[in-house]
Amino acid sequence: MLVVSPLQSQPLAIGDIPTHVFRSAEPYRDEVVLVDAHTNLKFTIGDIITTSTKLAAGLARSGFGGRVISVYDDTQLRCVYVYYAALMIGGTYQSLGTDISAASLTERISHTESPVVFTTRAYLEKLQQAIGGMNVYIYLLDDLCKSGAAVGCCMSFAHLLVDDPAFAPVRITTKDDAMRKPAYLAYSPISQQHETPHQLMLSHYGLLSSQRLSRPPLAESVLRTAVSVVPFANTHGISNIAHFPMLSGSRVVQLSSIDPVSCLAAMEEWKAGVFLATYSALSEILKRVERKNGHVAIEGREFDIGPLQVVFMHELRMSDSFKDRVSELLGARIVELYGYMETGLIAGMITEYPRIDNSVGVLCPNVSARVVLNGREVDEGQFGEILISTPRLTLVNSVFMEGSNYFRTGDYGRVTSEGVVIIKARMSDLIYTQSGIIIPADVEASLLKHPAVAECAVVALRRKGMDDIPFVFIVTKDKDKDNAGDASAASAADAEKDKDSWYNRRQIVDDIISSLTSLHPGIHGSIIDTIPKSSRGGPDRAYLRLKLASDHC
């Protein structure tokens, strides 16, 4: 069944993309739409339009038109100038992740044939080592000197700012033309399907056509201000923060660290109604922050974040208990974002209210979806792998269906006829048995109801040419710790006797497993001291599968 997003978007007019963006932003020309929370550096729409145009003219004059323009810094907000300038010269914006190795950095720059890289002093030395021997120009975003070399052979990006009345942005004349001129470039490492790294060219046509370019100015509202800890210069962050303020007049206050004190201080100072968060940031807040006198408190300081209404989660599949705790602590609604974040959400268009159980939101505008299992499209209400089609995705990791390419998300779930996306698991986590598919989270939910289970994780023991064996790792509740005072008085004889009692951990696991065999025949399990966690807070199933395969090889 084909499901098309119910969110309506206006078709994009033909012409150069930045001009349309800037024209739609004219009502907010003097608005401060981007703020660096740490330096208090402010950007207005007028600043962005003027500087981006000058930079584009300079890049074009230097012969960089139509090329890959790279940035090597995750926090520098002047990247917004580079982003729009790259579009205006018909080029591609590329973010080079600052956490990658020098070898990977060299590979990305070389493979994409990027002639110029913008960076900051903090990353200059590593960048210079990576491009040794390559014909690549370096410009510093955090050095605004107007004359002379900034550092060695590096120049300030101000050297590229040119007033050129004759400069005209590269124009787009057809939809197909727009598809061939991507806004930014992502990078796919070597995979089983491809022996060489691949560039994922993501189209700005799909990006901008998902916006309401002619919406009226927003009324004054706390939803106009968002505090963000999503990295600014990566492919998620640049499209978020560059386009939301440009299209709606919203203000984004960007933080470069996930420190809870900085986050709360920024929310209070700017009276933010929206928090763009990651799992890491929210985990730190849950660990260190408490509710006190109607405010939130940390390290003896109290913050008034009363205006906060919505927290948008960058990662998906957070546990319900985690989201409930965050919602209660911050007094805000938690919304997980499916697909891409540039859907106009922080401009006030909250697409899913009230909360829909087990969902991660509504399909973005200009996105359609299908659900497929074992190569067959399933009926409405059934589960399978979610495939999505959007102008922004390429042929990489996609399948061709009824005249369109559909990107394989790797998510096991379903999409309702109203466009609501419900995700149950990752495809790689599913357990295939003779009696059907087992979803690990469902088994774990049952196990956690047992009074002796503290934590658990269910994975598949893979067998070549045979069904999977469901296997559960269990962390039991330690009764000795619960009764520490009594245990100190216990004799060695009592301890020996306890080995044969029902408190024996192995017996507990056997009892638990036997209670599940009627539902999941062939299930096995063992005790583990702790459940390793992924960056999203859930069980690290990949690690556990490797451990299981190693133990049973």
Indicate which CATH number applies to the domain containing 161.
Answer: 3.40.50.980
Q: How many CB atoms lie within 10 A of CB 390?
A: 25
217 lies in a domain? no
**Higher-pLDDT residue of 317, 72:** 72
| pLDDT tens string 133-144 | 888 999 999 876
DSSP-assigned beta bridge partners for residue 372: 377, 385
Average pLDDT estimate for 170-187: 66
Q: Which segment of 6-10, 61-65, 107-111, 543-547 scores lowest on mean pLDDT? A: 6-10
Q: How many CB atoms lie within 10 A of CB 476?
A: 20
482 lies in a domain? yes
Q: Which DSSP category does 296 fall into?
A: E
Average pLDDT estimate for 313-326: 74
pLDDT higher than 90, residue 334: no
pLDDT higher than 70, residue 27: yes
348/222 Cα distance (integer angstroms) = 9
537 lies in a domain? yes
CA 333 to chain centre: 18
| pLDDT tens string 236-268 | 555 554 555 565 667 889 998 889 999 999 999
User: At a CB cut-off of 8 Å and minimum separation 6, what does 291 contact?
Assistant: 297, 328, 329
pLDDT higher than 50, residue 480: no
460/380 Cα distance (integer angstroms) = 27
Instruction: Report the percentage of the chain scoring pLDDT > 70.
Output: 69
Check if the beta carbon of residue 389 is closer than 8 Å to that of residue 367.
yes
DSSP-assigned beta bridge partners for residue 384: 413
305 lies in a domain? no
Write down which residue in 176, 208, 240 finishes a domain: 208
Kind and range of the H or E run holding 80 = helix 79-88
Q: Which two tokens stand for residue 231?
A: 């990295």
pLDDT of residue 28: 78
Write down which residue in 164, 189, 208 finishes a domain: 208
Residue matched to tokens 């984004």 = 252
Q: Which of 130, 77, 82, 141 is nearest to 107 (CA)?
A: 130
| pLDDT tens string 207-241 | 444 444 344 444 556 667 889 887 776 655 555 54
User: At a CB cut-off of 8 Å and minimum separation 6, what does 47 contact?
Assistant: none
332/319 Cα distance (integer angstroms) = 17
Strand blocks (E) in 217-288: 225-228, 251-254, 274-277
Residue matched to tokens 């927290």 = 311
pLDDT of residue 507: 73
Which CATH number covers residue 524? Answer: 3.30.300.30
456 lies in a domain? yes
Residue type, 361: G
SS3 178: helix
Q: Count of domains in the chain?
A: 2
90 lies in a domain? yes
Q: Which two tokens stand for residue 66?
A: 């139509």
Residue matched to tokens 């503290």 = 454
Q: Which of 395, 390, 405, 380 is nearest to 2 (CA)?
A: 380
319 lies in a domain? no
Give the chain's end-to-end CA distance (angstroms, integer): 42
pLDDT higher than 50, residue 486: no
Range of the domain at 85: 17-25+45-208
pLDDT of residue 502: 42
Alpha-carbon distance values, 524 to 25, 231, 318, 514, 532 (Å):
60, 42, 26, 9, 19
pLDDT higher than 60, residue 538: yes
Write down which residue in 158, 189, 208 finishes a domain: 208
122 lies in a domain? yes
